[in-house]
A and B are shown apart, each in its own frame.
Chain A
Amino acid sequence: QSALTQPASVSGSPGQSITISCTGTSSDVGGYNSVSWYQQHPGKAPKLMIFDVSYRPSGVSDRFSGSKSGNTASLTISGLQAADEADYYCIAFTSSITYVFGTGTKVTVL
């Protein structure tokens, strides 16, 4: 199975909004509402930010939102803050009853 495609890097200024895409196929991203997003700061374990495409776990800021169109899922961070600078990964359930991660996106706050 091939990794889902994410942009290597995305940047924005404080207060701006950015969107990270996660592109797969109809056998993974497009086939199920089972996409989740994770934030990872250097040297730390990942943290769940969005599950089931667009749901936020308790405690995650409402500045983070998720959506999906066709075979592409997206994570939007609004009101960008310095603390949002991190790596972000998507993961999707597949028709083979497996999971596949995205390639990861480094978010830089300018």
Chain B
Amino acid sequence: QFQLQESGPGLVKPSETLSLTCAVSGDSMTRDDYHWAWIRQPPGEGLEWIANIHYTGATYYNPSLKSRLTISMDPSRNQFSLNVRSVTTADTAIYYCARWKGASIDFWGQGTLVTVSS
């Protein structure tokens, strides 16, 4: 059974770096037709695409966030990660990891709430 499980700090201080990890189980991360993604949703607001990564190392970032982001993956550990640098309260959101197949997201994690506050 395929599963995605996000893990993160819950609370991050302004100006610090937010680090999230997504554990993948039940399928290979190195299938050519999969990308692995992060998406976020501020409380009460809409969805925002953050970044995608392919096992070949290709990465794709939201232009409005790109300067603060790093997405990476470790297929040997069945996980991929996201770092968001210099966070502000605007980065408070539910962060979802997801599997991208073709041009659509066919599987989502349950999401993890990250609050940026001092």
Contact = CB atoms under 8 A, between A and B. Distances in A.
A93 interface: yes
Interface residues of B, number: 20
A45 B40 CA distance: 11
Interface stretch (B13-21, B23-31, B72-80, B104-112): B104-112
Interface stretch (A9-17, A18-26, A72-80, A94-102): A94-102
A65 B48 CA distance: 24
Interface in A66-110: 89, 91, 93, 96-104
A40 B104 CA distance: 15
Contact of A101 (B49, B64, B102, B110): B49
Contacts of B105: 36, 38, 46, 48, 91
B34 interface: no
Nearest to B62: A98
Interface in A36-62: 36, 38, 40, 45-48, 51-52, 57
A52 B106 CA distance: 12
Nearest to A49: B104
Interface of B: 46-49, 52, 60-64, 96, 102-106, 108-111
Interface of A: 1, 3, 32, 34, 36, 38, 40, 45-48, 51-52, 57, 89, 91, 93, 96-104
